[in-house]
Amino acid sequence: MRYFNLARQPKLSTLKLPFALLILSYLTACSQLLPVAPATSPEVGSSRPVEPAPATGLLPLSAVQQQQFDLAKQQLNQGEFVAAIPQLQQLASALPSLPGIGYNLAIAQWRSGDIDAAQQTLRQVVSVAAQYSDAHNLLGVLARQQGHFRLAEQHFQQALVPDNRYAVAHKNLAFLYELYLGQLVKAKDHYQQYYALTNDQQAVGWIALLEQQLAQEQARD
């Protein structure tokens, strides 16, 4: 589900990526654990199920909770997002200090079409783990879909605070600046940072097209 601000639509000539690709991701990675069923998304990036990483220290799940989480993870990987929600809601309520569980719940809510619930869950996640980059990045995606472009900018920037090498946030900022805010110089900077981090060859084309637009603007001036 997408929402656009009709007063600020991107020009078709500037689009670098078909919006039909949005969003294939299930979940974003938690760095210390093994990947499961990797997938890619143009706006959430390389992904795998997020294990229930605590905000501070280690807080292992009980055997029953681990079974619940494993079932929810399987459902998410299979695209059964509605079915995963009750398991994750119960876990998130019992274990609010584990932001990965809340993030999984938000993904399930979002992919089930309940954007408001996903945003509420993500706000709870960042209230516990203020520097949880994945949550800020997804909050930015949702804000942009709803036409709240400056709020989206804030969340993408916040996603970069703990780690300026968080590549997908650079890409999202580049898209936002170019397609929605018309700030081409800032867009170029973030495309270049994204390319430097990923060597994604698509970015070469995006940068080249953007440089053409900048040259045309300078010629008109």
Domain over 12-165 is classified CATH 1.25.40.10: yes
Q: Which of these, 141, 210, 145, 137, lies nearest to 167 by C-alpha position?
A: 137
CB 5 within 8 A of CB 147: yes
Question: What pLDDT tens digit does each residue of the chain (221 aa) get?
Answer: 322 232 333 433 334 433 333 322 333 323 222 222 223 345 665 333 455 544 444 457 889 998 999 999 999 999 999 999 999 999 999 998 888 999 999 999 999 999 999 999 999 999 999 999 999 999 999 999 999 999 999 999 999 999 999 999 999 999 999 999 999 999 999 999 999 999 999 999 999 999 999 999 888 87
Spans of all domains in the chain: 12-165
- CA gyration radius, the chain: 18
Residue 154, CA distances (Å) to 71, 104, 138, 209 in order: 34, 22, 12, 26
Read off the tokens for 57: 């220290």
For the segment 2-47, what is each residue's pLDDT rounded down to a tens digit?
Answer: 222 323 334 333 344 333 333 223 333 232 222 222 233 456 653 3
